[in-house]
Amino acid sequence: MAKGNQSTRKRRSGKRQRTKGVRAGVVGLGLMGKSIVACLLSSGATVTGLDVSPSARRRTRPQVLAMLKEMRHEGLLKFGPAQALRRLTITTDFARFSDCEVVIESITENFRAKKETFDKIESVVSTDTLVASNTSAIPISNLQKGCRHPDRVIGMHWAEPCHVTRFMEIICGEATSKDSAERAVKLAQTWGKEPALVLKDVRGFIANRISYAMFREAFHLVESGVATVEDVDRSLRNDVGFWITFAGPFRYMDLMGVPAYKLVMKDLLPDLDCSKKVPELIRRVVDSGGKGVSTRKGFYRYTPRQAKRWQELFLKFNYDIRKLAMKYPVDAGDRPAPERSKRRSR
Ligand SMILES: NC(=O)c1ccc[n+]([C@@H]2O[C@H](COP(=O)([O-])OP(=O)(O)OC[C@H]3O[C@@H](n4cnc5c(N)ncnc54)[C@H](O)[C@@H]3O)[C@@H](O)[C@H]2O)c1
């Protein structure tokens, strides 16, 4: 990240810091773009969405409306869904982003296409508009190269379903200013996220790096005959799955007692899989046309009814876990217990 950026500060001086009901743009209205739109509308934002595909544009309103209705049903929307949808404009014209405070690019994962999109966004927005990318893997520092104002270019890594999850990684490229990073974090908080700041744009950012280390070991255990797919899933769900929404790995070790982890690491780390190859099992599944529930064939097999049921339950679970996560925010233990604070005030 670039240190304190004078020019950015100058550009923003005298401006009111608006963190609620922002004017936001979304480029790319695919799987993620649509749920990003629903998330922004639910926070009170006025949103302009753009996509090159007529069918994506056509599908956006009905699908976003369905998400908003679902949010309303789950108590996550304080407006009527139709009322929220009125704040959405769909267009093919980049000029409609001219008054946006933030524009989020969420098009297909293609470097050249993203660079062209950034150029089109920068040609119409004001100099202090945040320009964000939802890239999964392209380094933000590369996307910044050649930009008119690279200091306001930033990564915003969302997780599906974007209108429900609390996850967001804000990624700084080499040229991103501290001011842009702070603004992005504040915006994300107004969108119902609990954002994590990634200070260097390493491949995979935080969550993917750690998840993939876990996936690699999961494959290793199955491929070396230690456990079945079912039992690896069962074990992880009931161990990590039980604490991970409450505490990250560091808080968890604090709660359990740190020295034990040091002791185990000494013997266990040399034993873990460090392979750089894509595991044979995932190759076999993908090469035989397995995509998961969408083709009813992945690591498990599904009847049409089961595939639908797993998808429905996963969405319901996302709402349930969100409620739990809201009850135990990241600083839950630093806050006084409600009973104790009441007693003190008596
Ligand atoms: N799918 C995920 O779980 C996930 C998670 C995190 C990040 N991402 C990233 O988010 C981005 C979008 O992913 P997705 O899954 O929504 O993809 P998607 O294929 O569902 O949607 C992409 C949309 O972008 C549109 N598009 C393509 N080129 C365009 C252009 N030049 N201008 C305007 N619109 C254009 C397409 O018509 C399509 O509607 C990718 O960079 C992806 O890596 C995806």
Report CA-CA distances (Å) from 307 to 8, 16, 325: 49, 49, 27
User: Cα of 135 to ligand 1 centre, how many Å?
Assistant: 9
Could you count the other beta carbons within 10 Å of the beta carbon of residue 278?
11
Looking at residue 346, its pLDDT comes to 45
First to last CA, the chain: 48
Which residue's CA is the nearest one to ligand 1's atom 8?
136
Q: Which helix (H) or strand (E) holds 146?
A: none
Spatial CA neighbour of 284 closest among 334, 229, 238: 229
Which residue's CA is the nearest one to ligand 1's atom 25?
28
SS3 220: helix
Looking at residue 339, its pLDDT comes to 73
State the chain's maximal CA–CA distance in angstroms: 68
User: Cα of 188 to ligand 1 centre, how many Å?
Assistant: 20
Query: 258 exposed, middle or buried (CB, 10 Å; 0-12, 13-18, 19+)?
Result: exposed
User: Cα of 51 to ligand 1 centre, how many Å?
Assistant: 10
Could you count the other beta carbons within 10 Å of the beta carbon of residue 88?
21
- From the CA of 107, give the closest atom in ligand 1: 24
Could you count the other beta carbons within 10 Å of the beta carbon of residue 243?
14
- From the CA of 33, give the closest atom in ligand 1: 16
What is the C-alpha separation between 212 and 279, in angstroms, rounded?
12
Cα torsion 216, 222, 228, 229 to 10°: value is 30
What is the C-alpha separation between 225 and 219, in angstroms, rounded?
10
- From the CA of 32, give the closest atom in ligand 1: 16
What is the C-alpha separation between 336 and 268, in angstroms, rounded?
38
Q: Is the dihedral of CA 293, 316, 192, 81 positive or negative?
A: positive
- pLDDT tens, position by position, for the chain (346 residues)? 655 444 443 344 334 344 458 999 999 999 999 999 999 999 999 999 999 999 999 999 999 999 999 999 999 999 999 999 999 999 999 999 999 999 999 999 999 999 999 999 999 999 999 999 999 989 999 999 999 999 999 999 999 999 999 999 999 999 999 999 999 999 999 999 999 999 998 999 999 999 999 999 999 999 999 999 999 999 999 999 999 999 999 999 999 999 999 999 999 999 999 999 999 999 999 999 999 999 999 999 999 999 999 999 999 999 999 999 999 999 999 989 877 555 554 4
- Spell out which residues line ligand 1, taking CB within 6 angstroms: 27-33, 50-53, 56, 106-109, 113, 117, 134-136, 157-158, 160
For ligand 1, mutation pick of 67, 107, 160, 169 (most atoms within 8 Å of CB)? 107
- Strand duo 168-172 + 46-50: pairing: unpaired
Looking at residue 4, its pLDDT comes to 46
What is the C-alpha separation between 128 and 220, in angstroms, rounded?
48
For ligand 1, mutation pick of 26, 32, 118 (most atoms within 8 Å of CB)? 32
Query: 25 exposed, middle or buried (CB, 10 Å; 0-12, 13-18, 19+)?
Result: buried
User: Cα of 79 to ligand 1 centre, how many Å?
Assistant: 28
Q: Is the dihedral of CA 61, 79, 156, 148 positive or negative?
A: positive
User: Cα of 12 to ligand 1 centre, how many Å?
Assistant: 31
- From the CA of 29, give the closest atom in ligand 1: 39
Could you count the other beta carbons within 10 Å of the beta carbon of residue 38?
29
Could you count the other beta carbons within 10 Å of the beta carbon of residue 143?
24
